[in-house]
Amino acid sequence: MGVGDALSSKSEMEAALKEKDREGWEYDNYLEGEIKEMVEIYEAKGVSREDARLVITTLAKYKDVFVDLMLKDELGLDVPDEDDNPWVDGMVTFGAFVCFGFIPLVAYIALAPLALDSHVLFLVACVLTAVTLFALGAIKSSVTERSWLMSGSETLSLGGAVAAVSYLIGWAVEGSL
């Protein structure tokens, strides 16, 4: 999971930087066409032609600012920060996967000395997973505009659905062997 996240972030960053280079070339070689394009984009957003032209021609005096603006408004790409490190993102994903992925196993490890039925252990693992999913969603709400109840419920619903589908696939595969 962590490597996949890192490689995905790295590819996204490389694609944005490639587009930034292309937009820089267009700035150097076809500035008036780029200005016209950006004016049209701002007009489509409801800015008058005169105001759009004024804003864009002013910003076009500053190549780095204008290229970043083209990247964002024309292509919908975020300009990567120079200190962005996709491998840090990957390590965070890996760490979260290990920490939160371990929680369902707690039932089997912590309750092993009690020699409980496997169905009881599975039920405890499911409850721990549900509580964890809800808690993750509720925590996520601290960085979003959504209520903790809605965010927790959404994460629980989606995570629960994915877990159920995974379980059913495993059950089907086991039954076919």
Question: 1 versus 16: which is more confidently predicted?
Answer: 16
Span 101-107, average pLDDT? 85
In tens, the pLDDT along 131-160 reads: 999 998 999 898 888 899 999 999 999 999
Q: Please provide the average confidence, as pLDDT, over all residues in the chain.
A: 88
Compute the distance between CA of residue 133 and CA of residue 155 in angstroms, rounded to an integer. Answer: 6
Residue 35 carries which side chain, given as an amino acid letter?
A: I
Residue 99 has what pLDDT? 85
Q: Is the pLDDT of residue 130 over 90?
A: yes
In tens, the pLDDT along 37-82 reads: 999 999 999 999 999 999 999 999 999 999 999 888 888 878 777 7
- Largest CA-CA distance found in the chain, in angstroms, rounded: 77
Residue 93 has what pLDDT? 82
In tens, the pLDDT along 6-44 reads: 788 888 888 888 888 898 999 999 899 899 999 999 999
Residue 71 has what pLDDT? 87
Helices and strands of the chain, counted as H and E runs: 7, 0
Residue 41 carries which side chain, given as an amino acid letter?
A: I
At residue 81, the 3 state secondary structure works out as: coil
Question: 24 versus 93: which is more confidently predicted?
Answer: 24
Count of CA atoms in the C-beta half-sphere (13 A) of 60: 20
Residue 104 has what pLDDT? 85
Least confident of 39-48, 101-110, 158-167: 101-110
Residue 88: which of 4, 1, 6 has the closest Cα? 6
3-state secondary structure string, 113-174? HHCCCHHHHHHHHHHHHHHHHHHHHHHHHHHCCCCHHHHHHHHHHHHHHHHHHHHHHHHHHH
Residue 117 has what pLDDT? 86
Residue 65 carries which side chain, given as an amino acid letter?
A: V
